[in-house]
Structure 1
Amino acid sequence: MLGKKLVTAQKRGDTRALFLGLGMMACSVLMYFFIEITITPKYKKSIWTKESICEVMKASIKEKVHCIFNKHSGDENIFRYPCLEVQVNLTALGQVVMLYHTEDTWTRNPKCSYIPGNLENFGEVQKNVESIKNNFSKIKIFPCFYDPSRAEPSVILERLYSPAGFVITMIWPTLMMTGGILIIILVKINQYLSVFTASQYIRPV
């Protein structure tokens, strides 16, 4: 009687472990799909791949620009922010070009070098942009990234979609997929050993 209960408990445990492994694999597939349709296209479109040194030539706030926070909403969601323009000397080529914070900055507003994260409080936004401008006035030389083909003359300060970042993004779904496969393999091995052990105790009638 006790043996039957142990076998039943073992089968339930194996079933739960199998569902866990399959669930982890399914989640990892969904994460791969999400990465493929969101991050991968942006990574492939990132043309600023070559690193160089930039020297600040000019950093100024030229105007207040209207930023549409949500294009499907009304005027209450339209916010303003000061437009910071930073011109740098790309030392690798000896050219004076426009500097952008990231790839997204260039895509969202090619007129400005920096877009604040929170646009609701204009006073805080203005202080933030002024602080960034002052930092460029203090730190004149820094690493930057440019398009080696020179199809796009501008440069960026930080890469959002670098190879290292892409690899880090892929680590979690890969670990989850590997863990799910290992759980299923271990369950199958456990089932095989259980059947093999039970067969050793079977007595011919």
Structure 2
Amino acid sequence: MFIWTSGRTSTSYRHDERRNIYQKIRDHDLLDKRKTVTALKAGEDRAILLGLTMMVCSIMMYFLLGITLLRSYMQSVWTEEAQCTLLNVSITETFNCSFSCGPDCGKTSQYPCLQVYVNLTSSGQKLLLYHTEETLKLNSECSYIPKCGKNYEESMSLVNVIMENFRKYQRFSCFYDPQGVQKNVILTKLYNTNVLFHSLFWPTCMMIGGIAIVAMVKLTQYLSFLCERIQRINR
């Protein structure tokens, strides 16, 4: 009687020990699963944050470009391209300018004023040519304004090179105002269609990338929810 009871107690002990081992394994698996779910949830949150950050940055870039580049592009009246023929190019006079030579240092210098008169082929008018739209704003008497520097001879040398190029290539493309408000032409547009396209291309790519990241994370979460729901139904 004592031996039979002892054997039963030993068998029950082994069964309880085996059940404890299974329980520990199950708890360990649940813990690993929770850690995996937590890690995935943190990764999804970071991915969504990245996507939202990319979208916000692209919106800010659109805003900055809209008030700078796009605004200047829309306000430009030199929209039509035509052929210009050189009539006269000369250095008329010198103008004073100021330049920075370091912190708390400002000095004055001079630059030569280059004037270029052309014949607009489409209308036959004699017009003053400007390098860009900004040249007209800086000094309406000069076709080209070199960068202000302390060495006047360097500015004069640069202007002479440009003058010789005009004399060499006497027929070239230019832009004019078809409405006739501006009685002048420009050689190069600062903000043309090509510049506008490339300036808006990267913010657009960033916006699309941000939307794609958020959409993929949300799709993954939805598919995971569906899989879990199907597993519960099958059980």
Select the residue among 116, 126, 140 that pairs with 2:170: 140
The normalised TM-score by structure 1 is 0.91
The normalised TM-score by structure 2 is 0.80
What's the counterpart of residue 9 of structure 2? none
Stretches of 4+ aligned residues off by more than 6 angstroms: none
Query: Which one has more relative contact order, counting CA pairs under 8 Å at least 6 apart?
Result: 1
Q: Is 1:93 paired with 2:120? A: no
CA distance in 2, matches of 1:46, 1:12: 50
**Unmatched runs of 5 consecutive residues or more in structure 1:** none
Post-superposition CA distance 1:126-145 (Å, at most 9, x none): 21111111100111000000
Select the residue among 81, 87, 105 that pairs with 2:111: 81
Count, aligned residues: 203
Q: Is 1:158 paired with 2:188? A: yes
CA distance in 1, matches of 2:54, 2:150: 40
Cα distance change on mapping 1:120 and 1:16 into 2, 3 Å: farther
Identity of counterpart residues, as a percentage? 43
Give the drift of 1:118: 5.2
Alignment of 1:32-43 (within 5 A): 32-43=62-73
Give the drift of 1:123: 2.6
Contact 2:78 2:176 in 1 (8 A): yes
Equivalent position amino acid for 1:110 in 2: S
> Per residue, is there more helix in 1 or in 2?
2
Equivalent position amino acid for 2:69 in 1: I
What's the counterpart of residue 154 of structure 2? 124
Give the drift of 1:107: 1.3
Cα distance change on mapping 1:23 and 1:121 into 2, 3 Å: farther
CA distance in 1, matches of 2:108, 2:38: 63
Select the residue among 34, 50, 63 that pairs with 1:4: 34
What's the counterpart of residue 211 of structure 2? 181
Alignment of 1:181-200 (within 5 A): 181-200=211-230
Alignment of 1:20-99 (within 5 A): 20-68=50-98, 76-99=106-129
Give the drift of 1:117: 3.6
Equivalent position amino acid for 2:36 in 1: L
Equivalent position amino acid for 2:169 in 1: I
Post-superposition CA distance 1:9-53 (Å, at most 9, x none): 111111111010010011011111111221222112211111100
More divergent stretch after superposition (145-154 vs 31-40): 31-40
Give the drift of 1:203: 6.3
Cα distance change on mapping 1:45 and 1:203 into 2, 3 Å: closer
Cα distance change on mapping 1:132 and 1:147 into 2, 3 Å: same
Cα distance change on mapping 1:118 and 1:184 into 2, 3 Å: farther
Please identify the structure whose Cα radius of gyration is greater. Answer: 2
Select the residue among 90, 98, 102 that pairs with 2:132: 102
CA distance in 2, matches of 1:200, 1:2: 22
Quote the RMSD (CA, aligned, Å).
Answer: 2.1
CA distance in 2, matches of 1:4, 1:120: 70
